A and B are shown apart, each in its own frame.
Chain A
Amino acid sequence: MKMQKILVLDDENTLGSHHIGQLNKLPGFQKKFAAKAVTPQDFKTILDTLENRRAQARKAEPTAFKDSCLLDDAAILIVDYDLLSLKSTGVMTGENVAYLARCFSRCGFILGINQFGVNPFDLTLKGHPESFADLNIGSEQLDNPGLWAEPWKGFRPWAWPLIPQALDSFERRVVELRKCMDQHILACLGIPDVVAKLLPRSATEFITKGSTPAETTFQDFVLHSGNGLLGRLDRTSEECNVRIAAARIAKWLERFVLTGQDILVDAPHLAVRYPSLLKGSKSNTSSFDRTASFDKPAELGIHHEKISSALFPKPNWLSRPAWFWPTLSSLSTIDEVRDPWKTKQPELAFCEDISRFKPKAKCHEFVADIPSPFARRHVAKVSNVDYRPEVRFSL
């Protein structure tokens, strides 16, 4: 298997090396990935190249950029938000670098570090969709084993993807999108018209400034939404357009469509609503825990065949299996749908911060800042993690 390159962009070489040292200690990590800290000189070269590409594309959009850039063959880019010590970068932040990397290079998964704290948990569950990083975490979370492989113990937010899987899915989306940039996003993703009607305003506003989200193509999104290429003047290569759409629309799906759990619902949230779908004992926490996985539906410990007609059909576009909630709620194959008033609600709650179930009495309830009837969620509250904004606990 070919080793995949990880580049770490940090303003302090020592920090970059520290991160790499921590990552290399993860079991099996060095068999898959070769992580390298970028030197300040290389960093400057990378930025110069990306800025040159940006300027060049404004004049004429190339099919592909012909010059070489260290980022082009990076499977994963890890970029620190605070780049103050790199005087040569001017006022550049990690977010600016993420934008340039996504729009003007062929790099894979972008991991933003420390933009929202060194060990945060986002109680809004909004997940910073505006950021061009594919995932934003704190530096203390970078070597969390659960970010890189299953299984995990302790703190491991459910909103995180499994990075190696996310990287693989991203490249598959790129291949798929090369043929369908002019297709309508919602139709191409297999979102039925009826479900599309339920998208919250914040979700449709992300993909289009117009009033016809169902008619928005991937190309329209990249060029005109303000959440692909920024500003009026930015243009990029055909290949980068595809990569922007592949990254940003997947983030849109995860953050705007899946998070609410009222349009799409994933297995652990589904297990709480319809415990009859569990294969294992309903009184056993491990039966519920098995649903919190990034594996295929058949491996989640649920009677997936009963709900296959509601399955979201594009597995490469989401980090975990999910089902259309409006379809599920009409399926007579589900006991709780047929007879809702006999449903016995489990005494367990799904903890969004550890991706595991716990007795409700041991959980802390919070209200996520999302337009969903299922905004009331739970966390286990792990020590040393910065749960913010705290006001979400008191609602």
Chain B
Amino acid sequence: MHKELNLFRQLVVILFERHRKAYDDPPANVRAILEQISNKYTRFADSAALENVLPTDDHRSSDFKEVMQFLYLRPIQSGTPTIPVVSLKADFTRSLPQVRIRLALFLLNDKGEIRSQGYRYETPEGPGYGRHDYYHVQPIRVLYRDRPGFQLPTPAWFLDSHPAWPVDAQGPVCLLLSLLISLYGLDFRNELLAYPMASMLKGHIGRTHCLTLPPASFWKVECGREEFHYATHHDRQAFENFCASTHLPRHRKTSITAAEYVALPERSQLIC
């Protein structure tokens, strides 16, 4: 059994199951986008169909393009309302699996016209000597070059070969995790850890840098009649030195919990 393949597959299926509910009764701003993209980007609506086009131990390569259906991830409502639409191509027959995740972010401009930004999250394209032989994400203007009408509603001058940002991944699962964190932020880690395969995902999360910052310590510093609250990655001595030089002439510091720190008004959450 190919462990990476199976975890990748499970993760895609659970994403579908959890995220499709967002499209059962979407808010008006999401519906306005849906109305313009649904005919072109047919959404997977049944997990059986999705499972049939994901790689398996028996058939290790697959491509959503074959069936012309797309995975709709949960709409993003912070900032500009956006619908993330994903197409996957995977080949786990290689010693270093090749996965290409095409992501189209659809939104409306201020005239209500559909617009998009597209990105391609990819494993290394070659053995290590080519320009894009590393885990990376790059902008795209066309989702499928060999099918009609898959030019995204993106400005023609939008760059599509660079920058190809390095991605914090060592395999297909981490590549997908990177995509999810880039869309939904660090909070998405909590959703991942609530999935049935969380114990397996933890190992992958542990290998990333973006999801594994060293733990901070939290402090309340009293100086005169004022109180200051800090989060810091300094060790105890370095933080003491910082306080001694900052809070003159005398200060008193007490350890607090992360919850106490986060509960403070944002302007009071100091970082050093």
Measuring CB to CB, which residues of chain A are less than 8 angstroms from any residue of chain B?
A: 194-195, 197-202, 204, 260, 262, 273-274, 325-326, 329-332, 336-341, 343, 345, 367, 371-375, 395
Nearest Cβ on chain A to B158's Cβ, whole angstroms: 15
Chain B residues, Cβ within 8 Å of A373: 23, 38, 42-45
Q: Are A367 and B45 in contact, with the CB atoms below 8 A?
A: no
Contact of B45 among A204, A260, A337 (CB under 8 A): A260
**Interfacial chain A residues near B148, Cβ < 8 Å:** 330-332, 337-338
A194 to B67 alpha-carbon distance, docked (Å): 6
Establish whether residues A341 and B52, one from each chain, have CB atoms under 8 Å apart when the complex forms.
no
A201, A332, A340, A367: the one contacting B46 at CB < 8 Å is: A201
Residues in B whose Cβ lies below 8 Å from that of A194: 66-67
Q: Is the CB of B49 within 8 A of A199?
A: yes
CA distance A194 to B38 in the complex (A): 20
Could you say which residues of chain B place their CB within 8 Å of the CB of A202? 46
Contact A262–B39 (Cβ < 8 Å): no
Q: Is B147 an interface residue (CB 8 A)?
A: yes
| CA gap between A395 and B23 in the complex, in Å | 11
- Contact call B42/A371, Cβ cutoff below 8 A: no
The contact of B147 among A200, A204, A330, A339, by CB within 8 Å, is A330
B149 touches A198 (CB 8 A): no
B44 neighbours in A (Cβ, 8 Å) = 373
Partner of A326, one of B23, B38, B67, B149: B67
Q: Give the interface SS of chain A, mostly helix, strand, loop or mixed.
A: loop
- A199→B147 contact, CB < 8 A: no
Tell me if B35 is interfacial: C-beta within 8 Å of chain A. Answer: yes
Query: How many angstroms between the C-alpha atoms of A204 and B48 in the bound complex?
Result: 9
| Residues in B lying within 8 Å of A, measured CB to CB | 23-25, 35-36, 38-40, 42-49, 52-53, 66-69, 114, 147-149, 153
Do residues B24 and A340 form an inter-chain contact, with CB atoms below 8 A?
A: no
Is the pair B39, A336 in contact by a Cβ cutoff of 8 Å? Answer: yes
Q: In the complex, what residues of A have CB within 8 A of residue B48's CB?
A: 199-201, 204
Closest Cβ–Cβ distance, residue A311 to chain B (whole Å): 17
A276-B212 Cα distance, complex, nearest whole Å:
53
Distance of A395 Cα from B25 Cα, bound (Å): 6
Q: List 21 A-B contacts (CB under 8 A).
A: A197-B66, A198-B67, A199-B48, A199-B49, A200-B45, A200-B49, A201-B48, A204-B48, A262-B42, A274-B39, A325-B42, A326-B68, A326-B69, A330-B147, A336-B39, A337-B40, A337-B149, A371-B45, A372-B45, A373-B44, A374-B38
Distance between Cα atoms of A185 and B92 in the complex (Å): 32
Q: How far is the CB of B235 from chain A (nearest CB, A)?
A: 54
Across the interface, do A262 and B25 meet the contact criterion of CB distance under 8 Å?
A: no
Which of chain A's residues have a CB closer than 8 A to the CB of B66?
Answer: 194, 197
Q: Of the candidates B42, B46, B153, which one forms a contact with A341 in the assembled complex, judged by CB atoms under 8 Å apart?
A: B153
Tell me whether B68 and A329 are in contact (CB under 8 A): yes
- For B53, the chain A residues whose CB sits under 8 A away are 197
Q: Chain A contacts of B45 at CB under 8 A?
A: 200, 260, 262, 371-373, 375
Q: Which residue of B lies closest to A372 (CB)?
A: B45
Contact across chains for B149 and A339 when beta carbons are under 8 A apart: yes
Q: How far is the CA of A344 from the CA of B175 in the complex (A)?
A: 37
CB neighbours of B38 from chain A (8 A): 373-374
Bound form: Cα–Cα A169–B38 in Å: 34
User: For residue B43, which residues in chain A have a CB less than 8 angstroms away from its CB?
Assistant: 373
A197 lies within 8 A of B68 (CB): no
A328 to chain B, nearest CB (A): 9
Q: Which of B23, B68, B149 contacts A338 (CB 8 A)?
A: B149
Determine whether the beta carbon of A197 is less than 8 Å from that of B35: no
Complex Cα gap A375–B26 (Å): 13
| A198-B147 in contact (CB<8A) | no
> Do A341 and B68 contact each other (CB < 8 Å), given the known contacts A200-B48, A273-B39, A336-B39?
no
Within 8 Å CB of B39, what residues of A? 273-274, 329, 336, 340, 343
A345-B147 contact, Cβ under 8 Å, with A198-B52, A199-B49: no
Q: Which residues of A contact B35 (CB under 8 A)?
A: 345
Give the shortest distance, in Å, between B82 (CB) and chain A (any CB): 17
Q: Do A329 and B49 have beta carbons less than 8 Å apart? A: no
